[in-house]
Structure 1
Amino acid sequence: MNRMTLSDETRLEMYWMMLLSRRLDERAWVLHRQGKIAFHISGIGQEAAQVGAAYALRRGYDWVAPYYRDLALMLCLGYEPREFMLSLMGKREEPSSGGRQMPSHWSLRRANVVSHSAVVATQCSHATGIGLAIKMRREDKVVLASLGEGSTSQGEWYEAVNWAAVHQLPVIFLVENNQYAISVPVEKQMAVPSAADRACGLGLRGVAVDGSDVFAVHQAFTEAVELARSGKGPTLIEAKMYRITPHSSDDDDRTYRSREEVEEHKKRDPLLVNRRILERDGLLTASRLEEMESRAKKMVDEAVQYAEQAPYPAAEEAAYPVYAEEVRHD
């Protein structure tokens, strides 16, 4: 499936989700600099891969084990801007943990999104376990596990991918290769040119795709989902992009990469790449883009205002529902 088989409405909606994610992400940086939130970890530059993957799923039916940069993916799955801001501010109403979990450590019960740890690659084991359950139940669901390329050096990733390959489980591993595992560049992380190359040694399909092109990612993911849903096993998709922002709000990326390098990669910013595609195809006009920007700003403003006024969890709630209030051994 290429971009021309998607409806015009869907293609514009995919761009809208990327734009909304970007504006929320940018506002989070502002809130951090204002001292209104304690921490932010960004997905700027990675939106196209996440949206392309999400639109190949049956959202709310399939399962997702995300990683912490997946704001655009979560928005596509029905996560609301106000829920993101509630999470950033640690407010009681946020859906993943009632304000207990770190920001951007997603879970969303209504969308089959599984909570994850700050320890990288653990979500891959969760995804493979879910994939095994799907196969045992003879369901036609699939699982998306997303991760950074640095996570492909972790033992849990190898175990999860190997198990999925051995048992032909309906799991798609989306490696969002943003070129840096915190401060470590790709060439110091792996001895092969591409994370997709690692698939052949583990017995599953490996596909590399331009992670700045939302429609290219969608096509690769659609093919992988069709294979997984029909019982033909897992696929590893490596989407290559660039992490435009520092690793997190606690990171000074000037210590390990030059400003010239970052500026050069901004030329492949996925918002620019996909805006040009849509403009070339006559879908995205200046007035339509202005309307999108205005709508995004309004939604972000409203989300921030709502979260600022929302209550924090009460102190007595700190251990609930982490610990059982009563344990019986009858």
Structure 2
Amino acid sequence: MSEKQTYPVQLLQPDGRRVFDREHAALVADIDADRLRQLYQDLVITRRIDVEATALQRQGQLGLWPPLLGQEAAQVGSAHALHPDDYVFCSYRETAVAYCRGVPPEQLTRLWRGAAHHCWDPDTAHMTNANIVVGSQGLHATGYAYAAHLDGADLATITYFGDGATSQGDIAEALGFAAAWTAPVVFFCQNNQWAISEPVTVQSHVPLVRRADGYGIPGVGVDGNDVLAVLAVTRQAVERARGGGGPTFIEAMTYRMGPHTTADDPTRYRTAADTEYWEHRDPIERMRLLLDREGLLDPEFADQVAATADDIARRVRTATVEMPDPDPMTLFEHVYATEHPLITAEAAEFAAYLAEGAQS
């Protein structure tokens, strides 16, 4: 990684024109026409999933949903940089990462409907489920990465968190341990400018990427709405980690166009003018313009992408609405890896309560 890092790295301008950056363009030189189209399709599909899930929550079908509107490139680009055996430790907004890791769309809303403790099997996707304790996933990723390193595994972990999480001690501790242990972990900060209602300018008076300096690890800032730039810098960080070079801190500059969650009203703390700048930097439109400039966006392909996105959204809606209520006793499953006496006692007490209710 270059010692003199341009901040932020950009390979696509908002109007879809490529940026001349020999160092980082070389990292995505293999992204041909087919792979550019795949990136665009994943961007469109994940936005369509997000819009559908938001509508489902507004209609009472989900208890809560954390929208990712505007952050698709940061997630899709970084997910495409990962190896199948790399492990993802997410926060609660990484729906696009989960989709790119092969999680079936039908599983994406299970937790948010209250039908299960989780959405997908972490061992199958090599990705944890939603983590609500802000910042704690940084420690989980660092511990997993270090243990894998001790076992001789050739893999990296990546942990996703927002700008608000950088104010949490867990992230600071994770960075300290990762630096000391040379752990193969990528810290991926999606700086979406808001920690719920608190702007990033209140959280930090300097770019968050400079936090890396204090730990003696490389830090790179990237245009988080540029899917190619995100792919390039994440690839570099992942290969560094897998090669024994240790951790990297990435700050992806993006913007949360919607609410923090569907329980939030962003109009209470920001105006339409606040979002106007970022509306002109939409990650999907940027990629669409690139494809159009390079003759890759023919009507047939555009129609196919739209149809695929609509079909996946339909699958999400159908699976959500028709999701069966779980057996109440499953509440006690998968809480601990091994049997726990307190959980066993609580399960027995709850089973007796249910039996009593059934007899009355």
How high is the TM-score relative to the length of structure 2? 0.83
Give the superposition deviation at 1:229: 1.1
Give me the whole-angstrom Cα distance separating, in 2, the residues matched to 1:255 and 1:310: 34
**Structure 2 residue ranges without an equivalent (≥5):** 1-25, 343-360
The answer (yes or no) to whether the contact 2:208–2:251 under 8 Å persists in 1 is: yes
Give me the whole-angstrom Cα distance separating, in 1, the residues matched to 2:280 and 2:300: 23
**Structure 1 residue ranges without an equivalent (≥5):** 92-98
Residue in structure 2 matched with residue 188 of structure 1 by the alignment: 202
Of 243, 247, 266 in structure 1, the residue corresponding to residue 256 of structure 2 is 243
The answer (yes or no) to whether the contact 2:76–2:227 under 8 Å persists in 1 is: yes
Written as runs of structure 1 = structure 2, the 5 A alignment for 1:313-324 is 313-322=326-335
Give the superposition deviation at 1:295: 1.4
Cα distance change on mapping 1:269 and 1:174 into 2, 3 Å: same
- Secondary structure (helix, strand or coil) at the match of 1:163 reads helix
Of 19, 28, 36 in structure 1, the residue corresponding to residue 61 of structure 2 is 36
Give me the whole-angstrom Cα distance separating, in 1, the residues matched to 2:301 and 2:200: 38
Residue in structure 1 matched with residue 184 of structure 2 by the alignment: 170
The answer (yes or no) to whether the contact 2:92–2:131 under 8 Å persists in 1 is: no
- Secondary structure (helix, strand or coil) at the match of 2:295 reads coil
Structure 1 residue 231 and structure 2 residue 249: aligned? Answer: no
- Secondary structure (helix, strand or coil) at the match of 2:189 reads strand
Between Structure 1 and Structure 2, whose CA radius of gyration is higher? 2
Give me the whole-angstrom Cα distance separating, in 1, the residues matched to 2:170 and 2:240: 24
Cα distance change on mapping 1:33 and 1:327 into 2, 3 Å: closer
Of 88, 95, 117 in structure 2, the residue corresponding to residue 100 of structure 1 is 117
Identity among equivalent pairs (%): 35
- Secondary structure (helix, strand or coil) at the match of 1:144 reads strand
Residue in structure 2 matched with residue 95 of structure 1 by the alignment: none
If asked which structure has higher relative contact order (CA below 8 Å, sep 6+), I would say 2
Written as runs of structure 1 = structure 2, the 5 A alignment for 1:41-120 is 41-59=66-84, 61-91=85-115, 99-101=116-118, 108-115=122-129, 117-120=131-134
The answer (yes or no) to whether the contact 1:79–1:108 under 8 Å persists in 2 is: no
- Secondary structure (helix, strand or coil) at the match of 2:332 reads coil
Written as runs of structure 1 = structure 2, the 5 A alignment for 1:288-303 is 288-303=301-316
Give the superposition deviation at 1:302: 2.4
Give me the whole-angstrom Cα distance separating, in 2, the residues matched to 1:139 and 1:236: 21
Give the superposition deviation at 1:116: 5.1
Alignment RMSD: 1.9
Structure 1 residue 208 and structure 2 residue 238: aligned? Answer: no
Cα distance change on mapping 1:116 and 1:35 into 2, 3 Å: closer
- Secondary structure (helix, strand or coil) at the match of 1:239 reads strand
Give me the whole-angstrom Cα distance separating, in 1, the residues matched to 2:146 and 2:163: 24
The answer (yes or no) to whether the contact 1:166–1:203 under 8 Å persists in 2 is: no
The answer (yes or no) to whether the contact 2:197–2:269 under 8 Å persists in 1 is: yes
The answer (yes or no) to whether the contact 1:207–1:236 under 8 Å persists in 2 is: yes
The answer (yes or no) to whether the contact 1:146–1:173 under 8 Å persists in 2 is: yes
Residue 92 of structure 2 aligns to which amino acid in structure 1?
Y
Give the superposition deviation at 1:117: 3.2
Give me the whole-angstrom Cα distance separating, in 2, the residues matched to 1:321 and 1:175: 29
Give me the whole-angstrom Cα distance separating, in 1, the residues matched to 2:339 and 2:159: 33
Cα distance change on mapping 1:34 and 1:115 into 2, 3 Å: closer
Deviates more, 1:216-225 or 1:318-327: 318-327
Give the superposition deviation at 1:167: 1.4
Residue in structure 1 matched with residue 234 of structure 2 by the alignment: 221
The answer (yes or no) to whether the contact 2:61–2:113 under 8 Å persists in 1 is: yes
Give me the whole-angstrom Cα distance separating, in 1, the residues matched to 2:72 and 2:131: 21
Of 282, 302, 321 in structure 2, the residue corresponding to residue 269 of structure 1 is 282
- Secondary structure (helix, strand or coil) at the match of 2:67 reads coil
How high is the TM-score relative to the length of structure 1? 0.91
The answer (yes or no) to whether the contact 2:49–2:316 under 8 Å persists in 1 is: no
Cα distance change on mapping 1:2 and 1:275 into 2, 3 Å: farther
The one-character-per-residue Cα deviations of 1:74-127 (angstroms, maximum 9, x if unpaired) are 101011111113343233xxxxxxx135x7xx7622022134531111000000
The answer (yes or no) to whether the contact 1:81–1:303 under 8 Å persists in 2 is: yes
Give the superposition deviation at 1:326: 7.3
The answer (yes or no) to whether the contact 2:90–2:131 under 8 Å persists in 1 is: no
